[in-house]
Amino acid sequence: MKVISITNNKGGTGKTTTTLNLSAALSRKGNKVLLIDLDAQCNLSVAAGASKTAKHIGELLVGETDFESALIKKQNFDIIPASRQLLSYEYRINAEPDSGYFLQEQLEGQNYDFVLIDCPPSLGSLTVNALVASDFFIVPMQGENFAYVGLDEILQLCAKIKKRMNPKIELGGILLNKFDVRTKFGQMVHSKLLSDPNVKLYKTQIRQDVSLMECTAFALSVFEYAPESRGAKDFESLCEEVLLQTQI
């Protein structure tokens, strides 16, 4: 089982879009996939058609419900949805001495090929829980101002987690999304990324594609909504890279 966090403390960089469509690509290759929505905005849960459910990840983390009860089984994947109330659960987790290990504990003994975790746009204890439970993490990034500042913060957090809590955590790669290298910021960020020895870039870039925006409204992956689209091709290509990385 490979656990992958999709994270960036900057909002709107494509975390949820990546979680949803990478999982669809992995599932099309015959992998058993679990999605975890760790964001109180519930975007992944809504896009996966799993938002109106009784149980959620917050309740699972604090032990108010068990794994099977929190799980929604869909045709192509299983998902543990989020809730608007997740923030109050995060406060409760924060109060515990071992607050970083709650998700890892819940995933122990589970039998999936891949677990993909959609993180909130922050580096609080929910993201720490995701990174502690993960084998690697993917950082979707756009070429705007402050993109690189956010990356430094994530890499520093990861280094601390690697040292103290989860020695196996690695950067899977930075995923350039809607990234325009023709803009000044795009160029600046791109050349910094290429020259940084701590950074790995996926070869695949996710191009701007309206299908990626539209598919979520129909609770479909881009492969079901627009199989011939650029978005479908790009996520297929990202999936190949991830499979090579994990050698499954």
Ligand X SMILES: Nc1ncnc2c1ncn2[C@@H]1O[C@H](COP(=O)(O)OP(=O)(O)OP(=O)(O)O)[C@@H](O)[C@H]1O
Shortest Å distance, C-beta 22 to ligand X = 11
What is the Cα 227 distance to its own chain's centre? 22
Shortest Å distance, C-beta 77 to ligand X = 17
Q: Residue 15, interface with Mg ion (CB under 5 A)?
A: yes
Q: Which is nearer to ligand X, 65 or 172 (CB)?
A: 172
Half-sphere exposure of 224 (CA within 13 A, CB side): 17
Residues 33-62 as x/- pattern, contact with Mg ion by CB under 5 A: ----------x-------------------
Q: Which is nearer to ligand X, 65 or 212 (CB)?
A: 212
Distances (CA, A) of 7 to 137, 174, 184, 212: 7, 10, 24, 18
Sign of CA dihedral 199, 132, 112, 23: negative
3 state SS of 209:
coil
Shortest Å distance, C-beta 107 to ligand X = 21
Stretch that binds Mg ion, among 10-18, 87-95, 101-109, 157-165 (CB under 5 A): 10-18
3 state SS of 225:
helix
Q: Which is nearer to Mg ion, 65 or 174 (CB)?
A: 174
Cβ–Cβ under 8 Å, residues 114 and 70: no
3 state SS of 141:
strand
Amino acid present at 20: L
Shortest Å distance, C-beta 218 to ligand X = 12
Mention every residue, 6+ apart, whose C-beta is less than 8 A from residue 199. 151, 155, 171, 174, 193
Q: Which is nearer to ligand X, 193 or 232 (CB)?
A: 232
**How many residues of this chain interact with Mg ion, rule: CB under 5 A?**
3
Partners of 58 in the beta sheet? none
Helices (DSSP H) in 48-183: which residue ranges? 57-61, 67-70, 86-94, 102-107, 125-133, 147-164
Q: Residue 177, interface with Mg ion (CB under 5 A)?
A: no
Q: Residue 10, interface with Mg ion (CB under 5 A)?
A: no
Q: Which partner, ligand X, Mg ion, none, binds residue 206 by CB below 5 to 8 Å per kind?
A: ligand X
Q: Which partner, Mg ion, ligand X, none, binds residue 49 by CB below 5 to 8 Å per kind?
A: none
| Binding footprint of ligand X on the chain (CB under 6 A) | 11-17, 39, 41, 43, 121, 177-178, 206, 208-209, 212-213, 216
The C-alpha atoms of residue 241 and residue 243 are separated, in whole angstroms, by 5
Q: Which is nearer to Mg ion, 39 or 234 (CB)?
A: 39
Positions that interact with Mg ion (CB under 5 A): 15-16, 43
